[in-house]
Structure 1
C-alpha cells in the first residue's frame, strides 16, 4: 500500500470473551489477537450484555461459570439480540449435560478447557468455524433473495408479455368481427365468426394470466365465465339468439391444459349455436366443469334437436378435428351422452 492510500483490507473480525478469570481472559484475548482477530473481554454477564448492546461483535466466547451465575443465564439474552452473533460455550467440566444444555439454548459450538494446552487451538478453530457458518448463511440468504428477485422479474415480464399478446389477439379478433359484419349471411361469415371465437379463447387465457397472482395456472371458473361472455357476444345473432350458462367448480389448471380446454369449449359451444336449435328459436347452451374423484368432467349440452351417433360432420368437420386433437392433449376423449333430450358432449380427464 502506497503512502497516503486508504487501507482497503477488510476489518478484523471481533470476538467478545466473557470470562470471570482475569488471567485466563487476558491469555485468551491475546491468543485471538495473534490469530488475527480483534478481541475484547468482559468479566460478568452484565458487562457482557452491555458491550454486546453498544458494540458489534462477530463471535462470543462464553464461559460457563461466571461468579454466582452461569453462561446459561445469559445465553438466551444474547440469542435474542438483533443480528445475534454465534456463541461458543466454554466449560471446564466434561459433564456432557452442560454442553447439551448450551447447544439447546442456542450455542453454535462448545469447547472444553483442558490442562494439555489444546484449549486455545480448539477455541480458535471453533471461532473460525462459527464465522464460516455465518458467512455460509449470509451467502445462502443472498442467493435465495437473488432467486426470488429473478423469479419476480421473470413473472413481471411474463405478465407483460401476456398482457401484450392478449391485447394483440383481442385486436385481431375485433378486426375479424368487423370484417365478418360486412359479409352476407352464409358459410364465409360463419367461418369468420368461428375463427374469431377461437382467437377469443386464447386471448382470454393471456388476459387471465396478466391479472393472476400465479402465472403458471389459470382459475377455470373466471376463465370459462369470461370466455362464455365473449362467445355469446360474438356468436349471438337474430337467427341464433342463444345464451350460455356456465357452472364451474373452483379449479386451477396449468396454462397449456387450460388453453386446450378453452378451445374445446369454444368449438362445442360454436357448434351448438349453429346447429342445436331451429333458426330464430332461442335456446340455452350449458357448460359445466366439475370434479369426479381423481378426474375433472367437462360437459357442453343443449336442449336442441339432438344428434345421432352416426351423424356425419356438418360443413368441413374442422371443429371436430380440433376438439379431438385438444382432447388427446389433455388425455381425454370426446363422448356423446345419448340419454339426454338434446346434445350432450362429455370429456373426463385427470385433474
Structure 2
C-alpha cells in the first residue's frame, strides 16, 4: 500500500525522521508546519491520510480537527501526542480522529505510526466502498420501484379496460342471469385493479394501505351494484393496516364477494338496509375483517345460492389468510368474520 500522507507538525526534525522511516515502506510524507500550509496542500494535492500532532505553536490538534471538519475534509486523521494523558486521545477521537499514537523516543513509535496510518486508510477505503455500494443499492431499489409502479399502473389500466368492456356487455345483455354473472365478474376484476392502483399511487410499491384500498373498492362496488328500487347503505371503518399485495388482493376479493352477496340476498323484501364492513387490528400481527348486515340471515350449512363460485373464492382465500371464514351467531342478519394474519 503506497499512502500519501500530510504530516502537520511544527517540529521539522521529527517529520524528517518520519519521512525517512515511512519512505522505506513506499509511503510519501508531505510536511506542513501550520494549519494554513496544511489547507493549501490539501487544496492543491491529493492525500490518503493526515498525521496531526497535538502540540502546535499557535493551537492544538483539537482546534485543527474542528477546522478540518468545518472545511468538509473527511480524510482519516492519525493523532500524535507526546502526552500520556488518555483524555487528550479520547477528545481527539471524539473530534473525528481515526486513531492515535503516543510519541515516544523508543523504536516502537515508527512501526506503530505506520500501522495506524495503514489501518486508518484501509478502514476509510472500506467505508467509501460501503457508501458506494449502499448508494448503488439505493439507486437500484428506486429503479426497481419505479419499474414496478409502472407495471402496476399498466396492469390497473388494462383491468379497468376489461371492466369497462364487461360493463358495456352488461348494458347490452337482455338476460338477467347473464347480467348478474357479468356484474360479479366485473366486481372481481375491479377488486384486483384497485389493488394495483393502490400500489402505484403509494410510496411503498410492495404493500397496500387497506383502509384506503377498501374504501375505494367499496365505493366502486356500491356504484356498480346499486339497485334503483332499494336504498342500501354501505358503511366502512378500518384501522390503518398495510398488507402485502397478494394478501391485499385476497382481502379485496373476499370483501367483494361478501358485499355482493349481501346486496343480492340480505334484503329481499325490505326497501332499505345497511351493510357494514370493518377491518380492525386485534393484536400485534392480526386483524379481523367483518362484513355484517341486518337482513334475513343465512341458514348454517346451507347450500350457496347461484353458481357457488363466490363461496368457493371466499373459503379458499380466507383459509390462506388465517383460520378461515367464520359466521358469528346473531339473532338477526349475518355477520361474516375473516381473521387475517399480518405478515411483515
- TM-score w.r.t. the length of structure 2 is 0.89
Find the residue that maps to 2:90 and give its secondary structure. Answer: helix
- Residue in structure 2 matched with residue 303 of structure 1 by the alignment: 294
- Residue in structure 1 matched with residue 263 of structure 2 by the alignment: 273
Contact 1:241 1:280 in 2 (8 A): no
- Residue in structure 2 matched with residue 9 of structure 1 by the alignment: none
Contact 1:91 1:112 in 2 (8 A): yes
Per mean C-alpha deviation after superposition, the further-off stretch among 55-64 and 228-237 is 55-64
Find the residue that maps to 1:283 and give its secondary structure. Answer: strand
Distance in 2 between residues matched to 1:199 and 1:179, nearest whole Å: 15
Distance in 2 between residues matched to 1:119 and 1:335, nearest whole Å: 77
Matches within 5 A, 1:305-320: 305-320=296-311
1:161 lines up with 2:159 in the alignment? no
1:334 lines up with 2:325 in the alignment? yes
Find the residue that maps to 2:322 and give its secondary structure. Answer: coil
Please state how far the C-alpha of 1:101 moved relative to its aligned partner: 3.5
Distance in 2 between residues matched to 1:69 and 1:33, nearest whole Å: 28
Contact 1:239 1:280 in 2 (8 A): no
CA change 1:115–1:347 in 2 (3 A) is: same
Distance in 2 between residues matched to 1:310 and 1:95, nearest whole Å: 84
Contact 1:17 1:29 in 2 (8 A): no
Please state how far the C-alpha of 1:239 moved relative to its aligned partner: 4.8
Distance in 2 between residues matched to 1:218 and 1:234, nearest whole Å: 23
Partner deviation per Cα, 1:131-151 (whole Å, 9 max, x = no partner): 211111110000000111111
Partner deviation per Cα, 1:100-129 (whole Å, 9 max, x = no partner): 343333221122333343433332232222
Please state how far the C-alpha of 1:79 moved relative to its aligned partner: 3.5
- Residue in structure 2 matched with residue 64 of structure 1 by the alignment: 54
Per mean C-alpha deviation after superposition, the further-off stretch among 86-95 and 145-154 is 86-95
- Residue in structure 1 matched with residue 64 of structure 2 by the alignment: 74
- The partner residue of 2:228 within 232, 235, 238 is 238
Please state how far the C-alpha of 1:236 moved relative to its aligned partner: 1.9
RMSD between superposed Cα atoms in Å: 2.4
Per mean C-alpha deviation after superposition, the further-off stretch among 112-121 and 300-309 is 112-121
Please state how far the C-alpha of 1:223 moved relative to its aligned partner: 0.6
- Residue in structure 2 matched with residue 179 of structure 1 by the alignment: 169
Matches within 5 A, 1:68-217: 69-217=59-207
Mark the runs of 5 or more structure 2 residues left unpaired by the alignment: none
Per mean C-alpha deviation after superposition, the further-off stretch among 87-96 and 123-132 is 87-96
- Residue in structure 2 matched with residue 22 of structure 1 by the alignment: 12
Mark the runs of 5 or more structure 1 residues left unpaired by the alignment: 1-11
1:288 lines up with 2:274 in the alignment? no
- Residue in structure 1 matched with residue 250 of structure 2 by the alignment: 260
Aligned residues: 340
